[in-house]
Chain A
């Protein structure tokens, strides 16, 4: 990130004023709100008696990649479809690019790009024709070749859309979302079903969009995706925001204890370990886990002991909770 932006995300339910949370910059105070591309307060969405979204607040600043994580049925797709203007909400305030998406017109849509969860091309047109057709809908479209180049489909320009592979279709959908040169791009699970190399290629495209100054609202199941791409993350479970922050700080990640783990050498038991400044828990079988806020003294004592006895401890690791561990803990708590 070039410089801190005035991004403030508050956990759902009842946040009333622009009170910055730790990790976000309060800089200009409420004035920085003007640079927010998306502002959501108390969003609710009901389907009959079922309430899928139960009071969500979000703030997405211009130029950032904002990732929305959550299990299936958490309310992610409902939320993103309301922001895209496809669904009428049942409660709350929503501003996207200064307008209410439920009543926004063509001029607003020209500034927003949408990558749908399922891509559906025009089966009988070629990739280039499909992009040219969509380009005609926008006041200031990108050149078709530029859009093809952005998503790496230049070599497929002359192919009919119904002959593309699944990954190529998603890239075409991305190109269709970009052809109008939007300020804000919604990506709803853009890499679901991709193999790892296709996923990394898509990440490069998304990172490239950030370089172009686009604001990106991303929903995903993949923690690695959020961690690689996002400036801000919000985790949604059961229709509420259960955590928000940067990939490094979300869910108390920055202040959580570290876990040190290793496998006991042959013939050594936990009783043979040196005195440590932390309780030792027996992990699975011969794996030892030590959870402590100060990993350095623990590692020092362990490595001194291992050196003195000639043990290699070749699988020793020390790590903070992964984003995935934080995510699983938070979403399970809120099921």
Chain B
């Protein structure tokens, strides 16, 4: 089997497992949709100042909730799944086969990317059909590229962070606890014009806000000085992904913590 067909073989089963996993579906698909509906409904006909310009509330929350959804699919869901698989011995079991490690990582990344693309598409469709979000082909194209980059980067971070989490029970609460403050200071829940500048500066070097800013620019280039593709924020996201990959390659463990 060629490398590519091996990855698609693996991704097929990973996606199938993802589709049947109720927790994964609720976390990655239902939560962002519900949040978007609540937040947009709260400010129904309003606007918000962001990136120096006034944007429709949907043009703010669709990209920001999309960034959160990508973190959910790429980082949170994968991290919980990974730790559970490692502690149950399922990763060790796969390690006993000739399948190269990178095929398994690529399979997980493909699953994260596909589920991220689906949820971002759903969020954009809700924003466009229900709340007047302006969607162009260019916006969709740039947002899709950024979604793929973001999902892959957070997937690498999930592999890196899995080494810090000892057991499957604590994986969920731990990752929620660490992402929630980041969501807040990144302007995911509250518009970023009410956040102090220094807090936004902190958030801008973390991976969540740059992804949200880049996605927002895809739909409203004016928030990024007219550039639809926000290069610097995308580079920040890529840097986090690369750092995650380096740590993952060095520290990732296939065997349960308790037995090593």
Contact = CB atoms under 8 A, between A and B. Distances in A.
Interface in A92-125: 105-110, 112-114, 116, 118-125
Contacts of B95: 86
B1 interface: yes
Contacts of A105: 98
Contacts of A301: none
B20 A119 contact: no
B22 to A, nearest CB: 10
Interface residues of B, number: 24
A138 B100 CA distance: 11
Contact of A138 (B13, B16, B89, B98): B98
Given A129-B16, A136-B9, A180 B90 contact: no
B49 interface: no
B84 to A, nearest CB: 8
Interface string B87-98: 011101111111
Given A110-B98, A138-B97, A124 B89 contact: no
B97 A116 contact: no
Given A118-B89, A121-B90, A136-B1, A86 B255 contact: yes
B103 to A, nearest CB: 8
A136 B98 contact: no
Nearest to B19: A124
A116 B89 CA distance: 8
A199 to B, nearest CB: 22
A125 B13 contact: yes
A120 B85 contact: yes
B6 interface: yes
A133 interface: yes
A122 B13 contact: yes
Contacts of B97: 109-110, 134, 137-138, 180
Contacts of B10: 133, 136
A119 B89 contact: yes
Given A109-B97, A110-B98, A120-B85, A86 B20 contact: no
A303 to B, nearest CB: 56
B99 interface: yes
Which residue, B9, B93, B255, has most C-beta atoms of chain A within 10 A? B93
B92 A129 contact: no
B189 to A, nearest CB: 31
A84 interface: yes
Interface in B7-53: 9-10, 13, 16-18, 20-21
A60 B118 CA distance: 53
A173 interface: yes
A54 B119 CA distance: 56
A277 to B, nearest CB: 55
Q: Which of B20, B21, B97 has the most CB of A within 10 A?
A: B97
Contacts of B20: 124
B5 to A, nearest CB: 9
A120 B90 contact: yes
A176 interface: yes
B92 A116 contact: yes
Nearest to B86: A120
A132 B13 CA distance: 9
Contact of A133 (B13, B18, B92): B13
Contacts of B92: 86, 116, 120
Nearest to B18: A124
Nearest to B96: A114
Nearest to A125: B17
A116 B94 CA distance: 11
Contacts of A125: 13, 16-17
Interface string B148-181: 0000000000000000000000000000000000
A121 B88 CA distance: 9
A120 B98 contact: no
Nearest to A138: B98
Contacts of A84: 96
A138 B93 CA distance: 14
Nearest to B17: A124
Contact of B96 (A116, A118, A133): A116
A112 B96 CA distance: 8
Nearest to B84: A123
Interface string A129-148: 10011101111000000000
Interface of A: 84, 86, 105-110, 112-114, 116, 118-125, 129, 132-134, 136-139, 173, 176-177, 180
Given A122-B17, A136-B6, A173-B93, 14 more contacts: A86-B92, A86-B96, A109-B98, A110-B97, A112-B96, A114-B96, A120-B85, A120-B88, A120-B89, A120-B92, A122-B90, A132-B13, A136-B1, A138-B98
Interface of B: 1, 6, 9-10, 13, 16-18, 20-21, 85, 88-90, 92-100, 255
6 contacts: A106-B98, A114-B96, A122-B17, A125-B16, A129-B13, A136-B1
